[in-house]
Each structure stands twice: as structure tokens, then as C-alpha cells.
């Protein structure tokens, strides 16, 4: 049987980071294959508000840096919408420039904490004023830029706090030494993506691990993964970003739904445009599927997943939390129990991504229970119909679509919320429906 072929959309995480690094670089950069989504539109709008020129160019986007930053006057509005990535990264980057910046958003954004980042910015000489609830947007940032020096930050809730500070650090007045507090680093691969992108645009950040009474350098992609936060530090010297041209690689997060479809459906699925050696943490989707019993075949930048009998596994998803809803949905098709752990910070995502999958999969007849840092899922028969809520969360909407392949007639309250990261999802999903004989229901 010929597989359904799906092209992976460009990486959302890398698109955000490439845009920001190009904006901070002196000169013109052309970014090709940039993701077109609501979240990326927010980052573009914030960069334009800071004075960056963005223009379509030969099928890509011309980014003309550097950000000037007004020295005085009223606070510049930076509306991040519902994009947590935009909020955390742009708050730190804006703080690196003299002036006043008002960070605000929409819907759940004002319920998502940011104090671990703002605490670090305050230690850099930045003034932060919260307008409503302390530790949450909306807030105003004001100052004369970042001072540099030793700066502690707690990355337990989100790696984006650390990524934002790293992106801003080359603009500080002196060398920045970032130390980590807390018990763990959420989503370490996203930190590695940030460091990779900084390096690609000429801004070097060294990572060191504690060695006795001193420190030793380590590779940032794998060398610090799993280390205790207190044993990791980052050294960033002041220096310019350099303009360059770049093509954005495919997105493993958004590919996960189609890889899962190839496993739980009746027809194999090939996803193209994925790097097998990507630093994206969500590449572990393939490893998780293989552990559950899926047959997987690689051919250059294409990966094919075949319909397979699945069994439950125990999986720690601290490094890849965005695919937890996908893995939970796949586990509903598996024999035995799947235990998902290491993802307590999912409670502060676009929705509570522990409670929401439990609530919605339960409506479809899935035996699923919440845990403090994840959930336990036991495969079993589905109900024939289910009226489900996406909770306004793009990843919930896309993961719940997998239930259609189990014979569930799914009625979803807000399918349009996928526009946050993957506006063309339903067009691509129609190919999966057609190949599996699923009528349109969502």
C-alpha cells in the first residue's frame, strides 16, 4: 500500500529564533521556508515595533537589522497575542535596548507566569512593573539595556526564560555569566536550538559543567542534558550578531500528528523535510513510536511510519513536552498501560496539557488518569461519537484528530485554533482522512 505523503511545515521554534537573531544582526538576512502562523506573525509585529524592517523577498523574508530601540518616550506596545514563545523571547530582547516596552497579550497569556525571567532582568538593572498580577503579563520593562555580569535564572517552568536571556546576552554591556537555579531544566533541547541559532548568526555562547572546584566546557546539544541545574553555566561575551541567509528545517512537533497517524491508522504515512539529526526535542516522537512497537523506515529526509500493533511504555517527556498530547492519543490505541512523566510544567501551557487531554480523551471512552507530572493511559474500546473541546489549544486540536482513526466521529469545538502554529493542518489532515476512509466530522 502506497503511503500518504505529507510535507513537514517549517519549524516554529527555529522560525522564532531565526527571526530574532536576524533582527539583531547588522545587515540584511534572507530567511527561506519561514513558518507562516499566528505565533510567528506576533513575533514579526513585535520586531517591527522595535524598528526592524521585514519585507518579502524572492519567496523568503528579508530581515534588515539592527534594532535601534528608542531612548525615551512612551512605552512601545509589544502585543504577543497568545504566543508564549514571543512573550518570553521578546521580553528579554526588548530589555536589552534603552527605552520602555509594554509586554501584553490575549486570552490565557495573562495567566502564564513570567517572573523567573523578569527576576533575571531585574538583576541586570532593568525596571519591571506589573500592571495587574505580580509575575504575569501585562508588564512594562524600562531601562538602559542589560548590564551583564552574573545572572541567575530558574528554568523549571519554561526553557524559554533561559532562551530569551541567552538571545539578549550578546547585547549586554559586559560579559554575562548565566547560572541556573531550581531542580530541573524544562525542555533542554529548546535551549540547544537557541544556542545553535545564536552560533549560526555569529553570537557565541559557551556552556560549561561544574568539575570539582572549577568548570569545564561541554557541547551544548548533548553535553549538559540531564545535568543538575546548579552544575551548568553559560558564558556570553558582548558582540554583534552577523547577518546571513538561512532555510528553516521541518518541524518535528507538527510532524508528530502524521507520524502517529501512520501508526494507528490503516495506511502508512511518509513525512518529508525532517532532519534525522535535528536538535529539536520532538524528534523523539519516532523513538517513542518505535518503543511502542511501530515499524519506522528512514530514507534521507523522509520518514515512513507503518500501521503497527502497539503496546504501552513508560516515557519521561521532560525534553519533549509539546508532543505529550500526541503520545497520549497514540497510547489510547495501545495494548496495556502507557505512563507519561516528567511534564509537570505542562500545566502552564496554552491550556493545562495534563488535565485537558485527560478530560477530552475520557469523553471518547479512553481509560486515562492524571498524575502530578503527566498521565497514565490504558488502551481500550472507543466510543463511536465524542463532542470534544480543544481548550483553545492548537496542539490539543491536532492530537484529538487521531481519534478519528479509531472510528470515533469527533465533533471539535474550535478546529480553527490550529492557526496558531499550523494553519494548513486540516488541509493536510484531509489526505489522512481520505486514505483511511474517514468521513469529515471535525
Q: Are 389 and 363 in contact (CB under 8 A)?
A: no
User: Does 349 count as an annotated binding residue?
Assistant: yes
Distance of CA 149 to the CA centre of its chain: 28
Residues 11, 17, 23, 25, CA torsion sign: negative
Which residues have a Cβ under 8 Å from the Cβ of 272 and sit 6 or more positions away? 5, 6, 7, 8, 250, 301, 302
Backbone angles phi, psi at 251, to 5 degrees: -95, 115
What's the CA gap between 92 and 78, in Å, rounded? 12
Residue with cell 521578546: 90
Cα–Cα distances (Å) from 269 to 297, 395, 416, in that order, read: 10, 20, 24
User: Does 420 count as an annotated binding residue?
Assistant: yes
Clarify whether 231 is annotated catalytic: no
User: Does 12 count as an annotated binding residue?
Assistant: yes
Q: Are 346 and 371 in contact (CB under 8 A)?
A: no
Catalytic entry in 301, 322, 352, 413: 322
User: Does 124 count as an annotated binding residue?
Assistant: no
User: How do 149-153 and 176-180 pair as beta strands?
Assistant: parallel
User: Does 17 count as an annotated binding residue?
Assistant: yes
CB-CB neighbours of 222 under 10 Å? 12
User: Does 84 count as an annotated binding residue?
Assistant: yes
User: Does 322 count as an annotated binding residue?
Assistant: yes
What's the CA gap between 69 and 49, in Å, rounded? 9
User: Does 160 count as an annotated binding residue?
Assistant: yes
User: Does 413 count as an annotated binding residue?
Assistant: no
Q: Are 37 and 419 in contact (CB under 8 A)?
A: yes
- Which residues does the annotation place in the binding site for phosphoenolpyruvate? 12, 84, 112, 160, 353, 395, 420
Q: Which residues are catalytic, by number?
A: 322
- Which residues does the annotation place in the binding site for 3-phosphoshikimate? 12-13, 17, 158-160, 322, 349
Amino acid at each position: 500500500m502506497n503511503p500518504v505523503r505529507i510535507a513537514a511545515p517549517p519549524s516554529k521554534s527555529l522560525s522564532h529564533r531565526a527571526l530574532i537573531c536576524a533582527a539583531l544582526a547588522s545587515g540584511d538576512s534572507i530567511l527561506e521556508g519561514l513558518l507562516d502562523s499566528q505565533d510567528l506573525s506576533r513575533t514579526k509585529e513585535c520586531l517591527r515595533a522595535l524598528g526592524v524592517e521585514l519585507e518579502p523577498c524572492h519567496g523568503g523574508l528579508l530581515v534588515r537589522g539592527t534594532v535601534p530601540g528608542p531612548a525615551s518616550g512612551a512605552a512601545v506596545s509589544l502585543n504577543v497575542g497568545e504566543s508564549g514563545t514571543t512573550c518570553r523571547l521578546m521580553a528579554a530582547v526588548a530589555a536589552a535596548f534603552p527605552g520602555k516596552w509594554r509586554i501584553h497579550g490575549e486570552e490565557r497569556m495573562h495567566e502564564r507566569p513570567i517572573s523567573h525571567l523578569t527576576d533575571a532582568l531585574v538583576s541586570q538593572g532593568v525596571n519591571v512593573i506589573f500592571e495587574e498580577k505580580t509575575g504575569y503579563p501585562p508588564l512594562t520593562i524600562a531601562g538602559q539595556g542589560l548590564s551583564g555580569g552574573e545572572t541567575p535564572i530558574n528554568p523549571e517552568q519554561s526553557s524559554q526564560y533561559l532562551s530569551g536571556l541567552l538571545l539578549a546576552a550578546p547585547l549586554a554591556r559586559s560579559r554575562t555569566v548565566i547560572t541556573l537555579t531550581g531542580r530541573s531544566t524544562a525542555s533542554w533541547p529548546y535551549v540547544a536550538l537557541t544556542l545553535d541559532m545564536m552560533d549560526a548568526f555569529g553570537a557565541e555562547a559557551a556552556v560549561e559543567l561544574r568539575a570539582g572546584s572549577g568548570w569545564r566546557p561541554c557541547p551544548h546539544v548533548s553535553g549538559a542534558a540531564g545535568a543538575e541545574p546548579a552544575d551548568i553555566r553559560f558564558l556570553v561575551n558582548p558582540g554583534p550578531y552577523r547577518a546571513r541567509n538561512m532555510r528553516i528545517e521541518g518541524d518535528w512537533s507538527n510532524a508528530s500528528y502524521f507520524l502517529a497517524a501512520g501508526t494507528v491508522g490503516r495506511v502508512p504515512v511518509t513525512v518529508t523535510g525532517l532532519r534525522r539529526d535535528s536538535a529539536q526535542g520532538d524528534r523523539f516522537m519516532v523513538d517513542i513510536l518505535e518503543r511502542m512497537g511501530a515499524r519506522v523506515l528512514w530514507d534521507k529526509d523522509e520518514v515512513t511510519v507503518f500501521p503497527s500493533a502497539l503496546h504501552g511504555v513508560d516515557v519521561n517527556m521532560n525534553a519533549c513536552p509539546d508532543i505529550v498530547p500526541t503520545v497520549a492519543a497514540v497510547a489510547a490505541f495501545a495494548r496495556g498501560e502507557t505512563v507519561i512523566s516528567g511534564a509537570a510544567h505542562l500545566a502552564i501551557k496554552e491550556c493545562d496539557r495534563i488535565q485537558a487531554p485527560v478530560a477530552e480523551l475520557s469523553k471518547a471512552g479512553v481509560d486515562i488518569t492524571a498524575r502530578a507530572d503527566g498521565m497514565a493511559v490504558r488502551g481500550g474500546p472507543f466510543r463511536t461519537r465524542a463532542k470534544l473541546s480543544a481548550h483553545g489549544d492548537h496542539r490539543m486540536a491536532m492530537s484529538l484528530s487521531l481519534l478519528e482513526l479509531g472510528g470515533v466521529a469527533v465533533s471539535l469545538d474550535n478546529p480553527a485554533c490550529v492557526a496558531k502554529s499550523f494553519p494548513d493542518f486540516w488541509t493536510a489532515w484531509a489526505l489522512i482522512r481520505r486514505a483511511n476512509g474517514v468521513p469529515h466530522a471535525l
